[in-house]
Amino acid sequence: MKQARLFRIRGKVQGVNYRLFSKTCADALGVTGWIANKDDGSVEAHAEGAADQLEEFAFDLSRGARYARVEAVDSEEAELQELEGFEIRR
Protein backbone atom coordinates (compact mmCIF):
# COMPACT_ATOMS: atom_id res chain seq x y z
CA MET A 1 0.00 0.00 0.00
CA LYS A 2 1.38 3.37 -1.03
CA GLN A 3 2.01 5.95 1.69
CA ALA A 4 3.33 9.51 1.79
CA ARG A 5 5.72 11.17 4.26
CA LEU A 6 6.98 14.72 4.62
CA PHE A 7 10.57 14.92 5.84
CA ARG A 8 12.39 17.95 7.29
CA ILE A 9 16.17 17.53 7.39
CA ARG A 10 18.32 19.87 9.47
CA GLY A 11 22.08 20.31 9.70
CA LYS A 12 24.63 21.11 7.02
CA VAL A 13 22.43 19.97 4.15
CA GLN A 14 22.60 22.85 1.66
CA GLY A 15 25.51 23.38 -0.70
CA VAL A 16 26.78 19.80 -0.28
CA ASN A 17 24.84 17.99 -3.07
CA TYR A 18 22.33 16.70 -0.53
CA ARG A 19 19.33 17.07 -2.86
CA LEU A 20 21.09 15.24 -5.70
CA PHE A 21 22.15 12.48 -3.29
CA SER A 22 18.54 12.17 -2.10
CA LYS A 23 17.19 12.01 -5.65
CA THR A 24 19.66 9.27 -6.51
CA CYS A 25 18.55 7.28 -3.45
CA ALA A 26 14.85 7.84 -4.22
CA ASP A 27 15.29 6.76 -7.83
CA ALA A 28 17.13 3.59 -6.75
CA LEU A 29 14.35 2.74 -4.29
CA GLY A 30 11.48 3.59 -6.62
CA VAL A 31 10.28 6.40 -4.33
CA THR A 32 8.43 9.28 -5.97
CA GLY A 33 8.16 12.88 -4.76
CA TRP A 34 10.33 15.97 -4.48
CA ILE A 35 13.03 17.64 -2.39
CA ALA A 36 13.68 21.35 -1.88
CA ASN A 37 15.90 23.75 0.06
CA LYS A 38 14.12 25.89 2.66
CA ASP A 39 15.01 29.48 3.57
CA ASP A 40 16.02 28.46 7.12
CA GLY A 41 18.86 26.23 5.82
CA SER A 42 16.95 22.97 6.14
CA VAL A 43 15.76 20.69 3.37
CA GLU A 44 12.21 19.39 2.95
CA ALA A 45 11.22 16.25 1.06
CA HIS A 46 7.87 14.75 0.15
CA ALA A 47 8.18 11.03 -0.56
CA GLU A 48 5.66 8.42 -1.69
CA GLY A 49 6.06 4.66 -1.76
CA ALA A 50 5.54 1.46 0.18
CA ALA A 51 6.33 1.48 3.91
CA ASP A 52 9.62 -0.40 3.45
CA GLN A 53 10.72 1.98 0.66
CA LEU A 54 10.01 5.01 2.83
CA GLU A 55 11.85 3.45 5.77
CA GLU A 56 14.95 2.88 3.63
CA PHE A 57 14.65 6.39 2.19
CA ALA A 58 14.48 7.85 5.71
CA PHE A 59 17.68 5.96 6.54
CA ASP A 60 19.36 7.40 3.44
CA LEU A 61 18.22 10.91 4.39
CA SER A 62 19.70 10.50 7.86
CA ARG A 63 23.04 9.35 6.49
CA GLY A 64 23.23 12.16 3.94
CA ALA A 65 25.60 13.05 1.15
CA ARG A 66 29.36 12.80 1.58
CA TYR A 67 29.94 16.32 2.92
CA ALA A 68 26.58 16.74 4.66
CA ARG A 69 26.20 16.73 8.43
CA VAL A 70 22.65 15.65 9.20
CA GLU A 71 21.60 16.71 12.70
CA ALA A 72 17.94 15.64 12.57
CA VAL A 73 15.35 14.11 10.28
CA ASP A 74 11.76 14.73 11.31
CA SER A 75 8.88 13.15 9.45
CA GLU A 76 5.14 13.16 9.46
CA GLU A 77 2.39 11.54 7.44
CA ALA A 78 1.44 13.46 4.32
CA GLU A 79 -1.33 13.35 1.78
CA LEU A 80 -0.68 11.26 -1.33
CA GLN A 81 -0.10 13.41 -4.40
CA GLU A 82 0.37 10.46 -6.80
CA LEU A 83 3.54 12.01 -8.22
CA GLU A 84 5.60 10.48 -11.01
CA GLY A 85 9.36 10.35 -10.54
CA PHE A 86 11.38 12.27 -7.97
CA GLU A 87 12.34 15.87 -8.67
CA ILE A 88 14.68 18.44 -7.19
CA ARG A 89 12.87 21.70 -6.57
CA ARG A 90 14.53 25.05 -5.96
Active site residues: 19, 37
Q: CA-CA distance, 39 to 54, in Å (whole number)?
A: 25
Q: Is 74 helix (H, G, I), strand (E, B) or coil?
A: strand
CA dist list (Å): 4 to 34, 38, 68: 11, 20, 25
Q: Please check whether residue 47 is in contact with residue 57, taking contact to mean a CB–CB distance below 8 angstroms.
A: yes
